[in-house]
Amino acid sequence: MKRTLLLSSALLGLAPASSFAQKASPKPTDFHQWAATPPMGWNSWDCYGPTVVEKEVKANADYMASKLKAYGWDYVVVDIRWYVGNDTAHGYNEKNPEYNIDQYGRFTPAPNRFPSAAGGKGFKPLADYMHSKGLKFGIHIMRGVPVEAVKRKLPILGTKVTAADIHTTEGQCNWLHDMYTIVAGKPGAQEYYNSIFELYASWGVDFVKIDDLSEPYHTAEIEMIRKAIDRTGRKIVLSMSPGETPIADAKHAQQHANMWRTVGDFWDSWEQLKEHFDVCERWAPYIMPGAWPDADMLPLGRLGIRAERGDDRMTRFTKDEQHTLMTLWSIFRSPLMFGGDLPSNDPFTLSLLTNKNVLAVHHNSKNNKQLFRNGDAVGWMADDPQTGDKYLALFNAADQKPADEKDAKWVSSQITRQNVSQTVDIDVTGAKKLYLCVRGGADGTAWDHANWLNPTLTNGDKTLQLTTATWKEASAGWGKTTVNKSVSGGPLTVDGKVYENGIGTHANSVIEYDLPAGYTRFKATVGLDKAAAGQNTGGTLKFLVFTTSPMQAMPPDSARISVALKDLGFPAGVTVQDLWTGRKVGTFTQGFSPFIRRHGAGFYHVSASTSGKKS
């Protein structure tokens, strides 16, 4: 099917006059001042993927204005591919996308999804709607120049060159192919970035999230973007994505962006959340006013309504895990971008977003850092700059530990994007249980989409396709274990081959079967799914087969985590307040040792006390 290109009504002369001429504006104040505290808002990605429509954006804005604005939430961000009229959930439509683009090669909103954009108005009416409610408006874009603009050799505003003159196919994003890289230094390169930000400024955009920019790190384009934003004279907050941004480029990121991602896409997975303890500890030294390491969005509330990945659901995080998420993001001072559908919030979710004590740490604390990590017991601290008091966050990240690999009946070699599959054929004679396990590699669980292909039990001439059997239990680190589909909902595809029969899951995963009597062998092919093989991050796995439990004993539901007051800088007694409940915990003279629930968090305000009881 032919790719469709819809030219916006700017071709008819209906675009704002400001979009037809490039003139420099007075340089604004230092961009760091535009985000003196970490930005807070809503982003459409986690619930609507690339398919959000204007009505849904307005509904979330209305909720924010009425219930959240008073607590500091004010950004409303339309995420990826707002310029495609026929995009799809569960994966991008790259077969026949209906692009909307103007005569200067700049994408414009799809009017069938954003009716107020019709007639060349762009996003200005929607931005005006946000501003009328005291909110700010943001959009997502991809790095580079549109492939369609290059193919059609559309002119670059204010120059005598075209999009074809400034591009290279090198470094093209490998997970979405809308754009080509812009070659810094070519005539028209800076002017193209100038032209799009001039257009966004004329719409009243306050925030731009730019994807495929920071991992891998595109220094030259980041610098062109910074110049283009500054010359507009408008205070447009710059968010760089995805992550992990290379730590070696942290100083450069601080000098050019208001926020940058520290991880890949973060979903409602405990394994991914637990990884953030290492990530946040690594990035804490680079926290500074106006330049914020971004731990990614908050996958809370109702997610996956029409998302790129996953189904309509309430967050899979338990309440303890949600408290851990909000506590860590707040003491780390990550930007807070809520990913769920705000009008669908329940009272508990709303309470997470409106706790003034917790948000005060996020807004005002200083010297944020990890205090200790003793195995799965983690402590963070920060200063209250107004009083000299301390903030203390304690986390119990204990998990049921996996059994040793030596206890498995079979272990694959490491599966990667270079070594995507392997076969298994093992003797299971006499076993009563079969456990199919996938464990993530050293790069974490991001995009570790794993497939068990043609899993079969045999005994001579007798054969059982395991996909026709019912498992006793199945877990997945992301998404839901699925028969005859990948965990992302697509076909089971490994190394270019599509399999009709198999099981799609995601590390870390355990699928448990009661093994039918009489079968003596288990056979399968294991592999990394196409959805993971094409990504920048993750995709490092091991497949294991056990016939005894693949897990050790479950740890206690709670554990005491101790902090010496001298480590917080208090030589004498303290008074401790629980930030989540607002209640006074008590006074303590030497140490503080609360019980913290497994996967849970405690968040405290600690102040000097002239009297105390022995702790």
- Write down the pLDDT at residue 439: 92
Residue 444 pLDDT > 60: no
Q: How far is CA 249 from the centre of its chain?
A: 20
**Best CA proximity match to 15, nearest among 198, 235, 148:** 198
The DSSP bridge partners found for residue 381 are 369, 392
| Confidence band, pLDDT 50/70/90 cuts, at residue 456 | very high
- Write down the pLDDT at residue 289: 97
| Interacting residues of 482 by C-beta distance below 8 A, sequence separation 6+ | 489, 503, 504, 505
**Best CA proximity match to 327, nearest among 283, 392, 279, 372:** 392
- Write down the pLDDT at residue 15: 40
Residue 614 pLDDT > 60: no
Residue 17 pLDDT > 50: no
Tens digits of residue pLDDT in 403-413: 999 999 999 99
| Interacting residues of 345 by C-beta distance below 8 A, sequence separation 6+ | 63, 301, 302, 353
Instruction: For residues 393 and 381, give the distance between their C-alpha atoms in angstroms, rounded to a whole number.
Output: 6
Kindly write down the DSSP assignment for every residue of 183-206, as one continuous string: -TTSTTHHHHHHHHHHHHHHHT--
Average pLDDT for residues 581-594, to the nearest whole number?
96
| Confidence band, pLDDT 50/70/90 cuts, at residue 2 | very low
In this structure, are residues 60 and 341 in contact, taking their beta carbons and an 8 Å threshold?
yes
Question: CA of 417: how far to CAs of 460, 494, 531, 591, in Å?
Answer: 35, 10, 11, 49
Range in 33-37, 79-83, 157-161, 479-483 the model is least confident about: 479-483
Handedness of CA 270, 271, 274, 279 (dihedral sign): negative
Residue 11 pLDDT > 70: no
The percentage of the chain sitting over the pLDDT mark of 70, rounded to a whole number, equals 93
The percentage of the chain sitting over the pLDDT mark of 90, rounded to a whole number, equals 84
Higher pLDDT, 21 or 68: 68
Instruction: For residues 474 and 472, give the distance between their C-alpha atoms in angstroms, rounded to a whole number.
Output: 7
- Write down the pLDDT at residue 447: 80
| Confidence band, pLDDT 50/70/90 cuts, at residue 612 | very low
Tens digits of residue pLDDT in 296-311: 999 999 999 998 777 8
- Write down the pLDDT at residue 311: 84
Tens digits of residue pLDDT in 530-564: 888 877 666 889 999 999 999 999 999 999 999 99
The angle subtended at Cα 229 by Cα 227 and Cα 232, nearest 5°, is 105
| Confidence band, pLDDT 50/70/90 cuts, at residue 13 | very low
Kindly write down the DSSP assignment for every residue of 301-355, as one continuous string: SEE-SS-SSS-SEE-SS-HHHHHHHHHHHHHHT--EEE-S-GGG--HHHHHHH--
Q: How far is CA 410 from the centre of its chain?
A: 34
- Write down the pLDDT at residue 609: 85
Instruction: For residues 238 and 222, give the distance between their C-alpha atoms in angstroms, rounded to a whole number.
Output: 10
Residue 16 pLDDT > 70: no
- Write down the pLDDT at residue 135: 98
Tens digits of residue pLDDT in 457-514: 999 889 999 999 999 999 988 788 999 999 888 899 999 999 999 999 999 899 999 9
The DSSP bridge partners found for residue 572 are none
Higher pLDDT, 11 or 146: 146
Residue 19 pLDDT > 50: no
- Write down the pLDDT at residue 308: 77
Instruction: For residues 143 and 309, give the distance between their C-alpha atoms in angstroms, rounded to a whole number.
Output: 22
Range in 17-26, 89-98, 262-271 the model is least confident about: 17-26
Mean residue pLDDT across the chain: 92
